[in-house]
Chains A and B, each alone.
Chain A
Amino acid sequence: AQSVAQPEDQVNVAEGNPLTVKCTYSVSGNPYLFWYVQYPNRGLQFLLKYITGDNLVKGSYGFEAEFNKSQTSFHLKKPSALVSDSALYFCAVEGDSSYKLIFGSGTRLLVRP
């Protein structure tokens, strides 16, 4: 069965510091991996995706993610956090034989000034 795990309910960082939001996945075949962000009372906004190729994927708003096949991880990173990055972040996987997204439980990112 396909699954996504986000082990941290919340991540706290100071503005200007680097941030990492962790994600691990379990899926048969070649995974398509995604990160979405959700602001209060809003839908999900796409940040970036990994399909194939370079393991380091760059996305919107200065975010990037590193695909690690051996560790089945797809951690979201940003070199310098902004207060405006504070939101709920979801990792998702699209399985090899299904087009639906399986989401993790989400990680709340809090960037303090």
Chain B
Amino acid sequence: DTGVSQDPRHKITKRGQNVTFRCDPISEHNRLYWYRQTLGQGPEFLTYFQNEAQLEKSRLLSDRFSAERPKGSFSTLEIQRTEQGDSAMYLCASSLHRDRAMNTEAFFGQGTRLTVV
């Protein structure tokens, strides 16, 4: 058990609907990451936060995607107007950032599997 929790574990939605996923990181971790993994591929970076600040977003993160970490603790990832191409596993990870050599590795949650029908 890595300590990163994601909810829900599975989500089936109809095309065009909005979905929201939640991630609870390890409590003392100040960095939180979102990745997307499709079948047969490695995870692709979407975005990351340090505390409540969103510091980087991938160009993969279209304007239908939005992520928040309002109090520097849990985070949500919302996808609006879902498309079949959004079907994937969405992974959340957290780490403790101090200085680069002292950072912990990223700990991953079990993911939310999204199926858009």
Say whether A43 contacts B48, CB under 8 Å.
no
A/B pair count, beta carbons within 8 Å: 55
Check A52/B101 contact, CB under 8 A, given A98-B56, A99-B31, A99-B48: yes
| Cβ of B111 under 8 Å from chain A | yes
Say whether B2 contacts A45, CB under 8 Å.
yes
Q: How many residues of A contact B (CB 8 A)?
A: 24
Beta-carbon contacts of A54-96 to B below 8 Å, as 1s and 0s? 0000000000000000000000000000000000001010000
Q: How many residues of B contact A (CB 8 A)?
A: 26
| Cβ of B13 under 8 Å from chain A | no
Beta-carbon contacts of B104-117 to A below 8 Å, as 1s and 0s? 01111111000000
- In the assembled complex, how far is the CB of residue B4 from the closest CB belonging to chain A, in whole angstroms? 7
**CA A94 to CA B27, docked complex, whole Å:** 23
Q: Which residues of A44-58 have CB atoms within 8 Å of chain B's CB atoms? A: 44-46, 49, 51-52
Say whether B110 contacts A51, CB under 8 Å.
no
Check A99/B105 contact, CB under 8 A, given A104-B42, A106-B41: no
- In the assembled complex, how far is the CB of residue A24 from the closest CB belonging to chain B, in whole angstroms? 14
**CA A33 to CA B91, docked complex, whole Å:** 20
Check A90/B106 contact, CB under 8 A, given A44-B91, A99-B31, A100-B33: no
B interface residue numbers (CB < 8 A to A):
2, 4, 31, 33, 35, 40-45, 48, 56, 91, 93, 97, 100-101, 103, 105-111
> Besides A43-B2, A90-B43, 11 other CB < 8 A contacts?
A32-B100, A34-B105, A36-B108, A42-B111, A46-B106, A90-B42, A92-B42, A98-B56, A100-B33, A101-B45, A105-B41
